[in-house]
Chains A and B, each alone.
Chain A
Amino acid sequence: MSDTFLLVTLFLPVASALASLFADRYPVVMRKLAFPLLGLGGIFGVFLGLDTLLHGNSATFVYPLGLPWLNWHLRLDSLAGFFIALISIVVVAVSFFGPGYIREFEHGKQPLSILGLFTGLFIEGMYLVVLADDAYSFMIAWELMSLTSYFLVTYQHQRAANRRAGFLYLLMAEVGALAILLSFGILAGFGDGFTFDAMRTAHLSFTWSTIAFSLGLLGFGMKAGIVPIHVWLPEAHPVAPSHISALMSGVMLKVAIYGFMRLSYDLIGNVQWTWGVALLAVGCISALFGVLYALMQHDLKRLLAYHSVENIGIIFIGLGLSMIFYGTGHELLGTLGLVAALYHTLNHAIFKSLLFLGAGAVLQRSHEHDMEYMGGLLSRMPWTGLFFLIGCISISALPPFNGFVSEWLTFQTALQAPSLQSGVLRAVIPLAAASLALTGALAAACFVKVYGISFLGLPRTRNARRTSEASRGMVFGQGLLAVLCLIFGVFPSMTINAINNATLALTHHSLDTATAHGWLWLTPVSAQTASYSAPLVLLGVLLALVAWAIVYYILRPSGHADTVRGPTWDCGFGGLNPRMQYTATAFAMPIRRIFSPVWRLHEKIEREPRKGLPEEPAEIRYQLHAEDITWKWIYQPIERLLNIIARSVGRIQTGHLRHYLTYTFVTLILLLWLIT
């Protein structure tokens, strides 16, 4: 069965891509054919992934494509199944969301066919990356994914920001791909062949495996968005169409995580604890950096993009812990870290897609992407508001939603540090835990800002005031993901049971202790050490509410209306208006003061002088822009260096024939001299 399902899952996105070619002539094709095909493919993919994941089986397929001596090998094992399911879930949600969302493009300047074509191919590329079982098809799939998503980023290329983002994205994707290729090349060189099976047999010395690992970290990290190679992410995600942002941020980054896991645990194997320390450092920096920059953003999608950096950091913390434990022989704890990372991967995929879809709905309905121009959207788009709130709670790691479970698992892993022999490691890991805790708290602050500024309060602009609820499909797509946020938050034991199969495929270990006490209890190491029962927490909340209802019924004041509505208290001055509300920039101000060295802040104050009274301006505009510090310290020097070299190399092309002939002459003489 998996054979057929696989073919169908792989075929439908292509079919969707091809169908969209007709979308320019018949725009209805997109809504009625292309997106449903994608969704159908996603549903098949969910079944395929779950089937593989739950049964823990694996199957190999060889397709007569590729090089004569290296056909495309595809392999579907539990880990691949996990990621296929993860991709497919988001694809299904997007296929519900998409038809409504792209309505605004139907009369736009860009052809719909391009959007549909590359969306289909993009999804196809992601599926293939996960399935690839040899380096060659992996690279093809990987680059297909990069290239198509690049075309999607530049879809609205009339805007300069999109072009710039696209260039940056493609350049970094290319550099990353080259690093990955090199890493594979090392494995293939030692392991006699480019199939993953051959690469697994490679026996690498510590130096070579560390080089391969570092290259993999560079390559996959560039796609995943770890600091400091994350810069494309906050540029590219905000400018892509929102359902594409959801796919990119929600799924594509996870595909990079997949590749990284596959490379380091499976292909290189024999993980070293030193790598774990590196990952831990990278993870902590990314997490903190991501959330601190997110706090300074007021463009909603850009903010979410920085949060992706943060969450990737959290995943890397989990992976780092896992490698430290595996590398020091603590397989159970290593698996715990891996499970935490995988769980967070799943969670981030779901809530980040949810948030991007929500941001897309807001963007489409209000035509605003800057939070400073929003406000009061909850009453105007109640469903989107509700689902967005669920996304915010999940990403802020609050119980009983899903984000909490994975961060909890990560904490639990970190807390097992005393079982390590090395004192330094024992001391380092708590620091990582501290930064994770700080990250979580800051993320909560950030999402209070996001939700409070954009959905609560009063509408700050006319656009925000006129907003109305998104279409039914868009709401449904978000609702689907929101429900999953709750389900994965409340039933962690079941989820981990499934994830166990994936870790089994990757490292031959699984975390059976976590679910040893039945579905109600989650006990990562043992019941004495830590336990969490999310279903009971939910039950407790419900019981508390029921109890309150009873108390309220008894104590209810009789005779007059239960609640009255009145104007907001204005301290007696009168004339409250929306502009008096706290802004996003103001909200983050205290945090800005605390962590000020982290950013390069550009403040701009514009005063419009009043006529006759130059001292008292009629209007003051304040703008704050937090520039990514990595630009100044890493990217601009590289660019400068490149230009300097290019200029000096350019000097050899002087334009004078005599010089050119001298080159030939000297070359000849030199070579003759060389050989005698």
Chain B
Amino acid sequence: MNALILTLLIPLLSSVAMAVMGQKKIAGSLNIIVSLAQFIATLFMTSVVFKQGHIGASNGQFYIDSFNVYLIALTALVGLTTSLFSRPYMEQERQNGRLSTNRMRLYHTSYQGFLFTMQLALSTNNLGILWVALEGATLATVLLVSLYRTPEAIEAAWKYFIICGVGIAQALFGTVLIYFAAAQVIPDPEQALLIRVLVEHAAGLHPIIMTIAFVFLLVGYGTKVGLVPMHTWLPDAHSEGPTPMSAVLSGLLLNVALYALVRVKILTDGALANNLSGHSPHLAGYLMMGFGLLSFTVAGYMLHRQRDIKRLFSYSSIEHMGLMTFAFGLGVPLATFGALLHMTVHSLTKSSIFITVGHASHIAQTQKIDNIRGLIATQPSVGWGLLIGTAAIAGFPPFGVFTSEFLLLSATMQTHPWLTIPLLVGLAVAFAGLFRHLHPMVYGEKPAEQTGVQANMWPVIIQLALVLWLGLSIPDFLAQWFDQATQLITGSGLL
């Protein structure tokens, strides 16, 4: 309870504080310290959840169960490691003259503000607040995308703002519809948006309204998840914003949006379960599978066309979000377990990739893939970090991404054997797309006059080590949480 308050208050207050105090030298360090404090608070909270099973607060407005607890800890962890990376990185950007001190202030304010919205979205039990938090996340990051004020950055930010704004508006309409449906069965209007209450009454919600609501929510939150064809903002925003922001966008925002989508899918499944509407009870799942597969496939091919290193990896994020959406859509315990694991490992891996990408683009002083050469020869730690990170994200064992893809593929084979073919083709295409660009960047002779930069590789090492650990063995408590979340989502567990 206290830990939960701390988790939410620390980023909120520090965001305000950063805005108020103006740009100081210590802002970067302060950013690290508050992120660390937040991380410690979440760890504390995690231990409470571990002991008690769940935490509820504020009259049911907040509720931590096994589905969101690990995401909260993950968010705090990635927030911490990215803040570790961002201090020297942003300092370097400032020295390169790309940023003024004023914008550094904006950066740090937005950074903590963004973390606040993430934690709020995860910990709230209210669908409305969830929406508010996700919209808040867009608002907190949109000015970060345009931080460099180049025409491209402005363009990207404008697209990001409009597309996500329009998208998220659909989600609000969906939320209103859910509220409308809930009002028929839940007497207290104050309770009618609480997820736990809704889950209890899911079977009574009107199926047709819930289907329409789900469609709006799917389009809405799907925009933030980066599902094709609503993904269009994602590569632009990732490539033009500062790299730490790309790391948290890919590592956190997409996850949280998917989390929201899965929450509403549970409700829709519940409403459709008694099969009154004439729709298939798995309608929500089928829609998610369709979008997931489409995103996954399209992103895989898009990888081949990239010229910008950050765009490259942002398409890889779309690909993986598609995979997870597909997995949640399958709706069987094995796939869901895999998807939950995939959320974790993708977030860790992708954010560490973006961190190395940041260093790499500093080394080469460009984001153009064609001009990034000989990273290993220039700075082995960055080159190997990128190489191993990419191998991990491409699904090579013993990294955890492999484990989750293994689970997902086996679940697909058990339920929809023919869908494994597009999945496998997609994986191979995406793999080729990643490595055809990666190879020339990391290998080869060091270009003349290219020197290494001061890089803090610890975040990368820590995160990849975690991913490796998850690939070799999933710790018991995490497995329990995944399993309980699986039960929550699909109705039955694995263990």
Q: In their complex, do chains A and B touch, with some C-beta pair under 8 Å?
A: yes
Q: Using a CB–CB distance below 8 Å, which chain A residues touch chain B?
A: 64-69, 109, 111, 136, 139-140, 143-144, 146-147, 154, 157-158, 160, 162-163, 166-167, 170-171, 174-175, 178-179, 181-182, 185-186, 188-189, 194, 642-643, 645-647, 649-650, 652-653, 657, 660-661, 663-664, 667-668, 671-672, 675
Question: Could you say which residues of chain B place their CB within 8 Å of the CB of A167?
Answer: 435-436, 439
5 A-B pairs besides A136-B403, A146-B396, A163-B439 with CB distance below 8 A are A68-B495, A139-B397, A166-B439, A647-B305, A675-B215
Q: Which of A140, A174, A643, A664 contacts B223 (CB 8 A)?
A: A664
Given A664-B230, A672-B215, check contact A189 B413 (CB 8 Å): yes
Whole-angstrom distance between the alpha carbons of A194 and B410 in the complex?
9
Residue pairs across A and B with Cβ atoms less than 8 A apart, 17 shown, are A67-B407, A68-B494, A68-B495, A139-B397, A147-B397, A163-B444, A167-B439, A185-B414, A646-B433, A650-B301, A657-B163, A664-B163, A664-B223, A667-B219, A667-B229, A667-B230, A671-B215
Interfacial chain A residues near B229, Cβ < 8 Å: 652, 663-664, 667
Q: Which of B24-32, B58-66, B322-330, B469-477 contacts A (4 or more CB under 8 A)?
A: B469-477
- Chain B interface secondary structure, helix, strand, loop or mixed? helix
Docked pose: A160 CA to B440 CA in angstroms: 9
The answer to whether the Cβ of B172 comes within 8 Å of any Cβ in the partner chain is no
Measured CA separation A174–B428 after assembly (Å) = 7
Cα distance A158–B397 when bound, in Å? 26
> Contact: A178 with B283, CB < 8 Å?
no
Question: Known: A174-B428, A675-B212. Contact between A157 and B444, CB under 8 A?
Answer: yes
B148 within 8 A of A: no
What 1/0 mask marks residues of chain B from 420 to 441 whose CB sits below 8 Å from any chain A CB?
Answer: 1000100111011101100110
Interface bin, chain B: 35 or more
Q: How far, in angstroms, from A580 to B375 measured CA to CA in the complex?
A: 47
CA distance A178 to B409 in the complex (A): 10
Contact yes or no, B436 A178, CB < 8 A: no
B403 and A67 contacting across the interface, CB-CB below 8 Å: yes
Q: Which residue of chain B has its CB nearest to the CB of A156?
A: B443
CB neighbours (8 Å) of B167 from chain A are: 664
> Cβ of B398 and Cβ of A140 under 8 Å apart?
yes
Among residues of B, the one whose C-beta sits closest to the C-beta of A136 is B406
CA distance A348 to B391 in the complex (A): 32
Given the interface contacts A65-B473, A140-B397, A158-B377, does A653 sit within 8 Å of B232 by beta carbon?
yes
Q: How distant is B311 from chain A, measured CB to nearest CB, in Å? A: 10
Are B380 and A111 in contact, with the CB atoms below 8 A? yes
Contact with A along B302-317 (1 / 0, CB 8 A): 1011000000000000
Beta-carbon contact of B431 and A174 below 8 Å: yes
Would you call A657 and B397 a contact (CB within 8 A)? no
- For the complex, give the distance between the alpha carbons of A246 and B287 in Å: 51
Q: Contact partner of A642 among B162, B429, B495, CB < 8 A?
A: B429
Per-position contact with A for B156-168: 1 when CB-CB < 8 Å, else 0? Answer: 0011001100110
Point out the residues of chain A lying under 8 angstroms from B474, CB to CB: 67-68
> At the interface, yes or no: B197 with Cβ under 8 Å from chain A?
no
Chain B 381-432 interface residues, beta-carbon cutoff 8 Å to A: 391, 394, 396-398, 402-403, 406-407, 409-410, 413-414, 417, 420, 424, 427-429, 431-432
Give chain A nearest CB distance to B70 CB in angstroms: 15
Most chain-B Cβ atoms within 10 A of its Cβ — which of A136, A179, A194?
A136
B279 surroundings in chain A (CB, below 8 A)? 675
**Chain A: which residue is nearest B299 at the CB level?**
A649
Instruction: Determine if A188 and B159 form an interchain contact, defined as CB atoms under 8 angstroms apart.
Output: no
A68 vs B478: C-alpha distance when bound (angstroms):
10
Rounded to whole angstroms, the CA-CA distance of A411 and B222 in the bound complex is 62
Per-residue CB contact flags for chain B residues 193-218 toward chain A (1 = under 8 Å, else 0) read 00000000000000000011001101
Q: Is the CB of B302 within 8 A of A646?
A: yes
In the bound complex, do residue A171 and residue B435 qualify as a contact, i.e. CB atoms below 8 Å apart?
yes
Distance, CA A139 to CA B407, complexed state (A): 12
A66-B472, A109-B377 in contact; A158/B445 too (CB < 8 A)?
yes
Judge whether B298 is part of the interface by a CB distance below 8 angstroms: yes
A256 to B398, CA, bound (A): 19
Q: How far is the CA of A146 from the CA of B406 in the complex (A)?
A: 17
Does B170 make an interface contact (CB < 8 A)?
yes
Min C-beta distance of A265 to chain B, whole Å: 22
Query: Are the C-beta atoms of A646 and B473 separated by less than 8 Å?
Result: no
B278 to A: closest C-beta gap in Å: 10
Inter-chain contacts of B494 with A (CB < 8 A) = 68-69
Q: A157-B443, A163-B440, A186-B413 are in contact. Are A663 and B232 (CB under 8 A)?
A: yes
- Measured in the bound complex, the distance between the Cα atoms of B216 and A146 in whole Å is 44
6 nearest CB pairs, A to B: A157-B443, A185-B413, A646-B304, A663-B229, A660-B232, A68-B479
In the complex, the answer to whether A185 meets B432 with C-beta atoms within 8 Å is no
CB-CB nearest in chain A for B383: A157
Q: Given that A185-B420, A186-B413, A650-B301 are known contacts, is A675 also in contact with B283, CB under 8 Å in the complex? A: yes
> Within B249-296, which residues are at the interface with A (CB < 8 Å)?
279, 283, 287
B133 contacts partner chain A, Cβ-Cβ < 8 Å: no
Check A664 against B219 for contact (C-beta < 8 Å): yes
A668 to B223, CA, bound (A): 11
- The residue of chain B having its C-beta at the shortest distance from the C-beta of A140 within the complex is B397
- Contact of A649 with B219 in the complex, beta carbons under 8 Å: no
Report the bound CA distance from A660 to B393 in whole Å: 28
Q: Is B8 located at the chain interface by the 8 A CB criterion?
A: no
- Are B444 and A649 in contact, with the CB atoms below 8 A? no
CA distance A64 to B475 in the complex (A): 10
Which B residues touch A163, using CB under 8 A? 439-440, 443-444
Cα–Cα distance between A68 and B215 once the two chains are bound (Å)? 35
| Interface presence of B235 (CB below 8 A) | yes
Contact A671 B409 (CB under 8 A): no
Known: A185-B409, A185-B410. A664 touches B162 (CB 8 A): no
B227 CB, min distance to chain A CBs, angstroms = 9
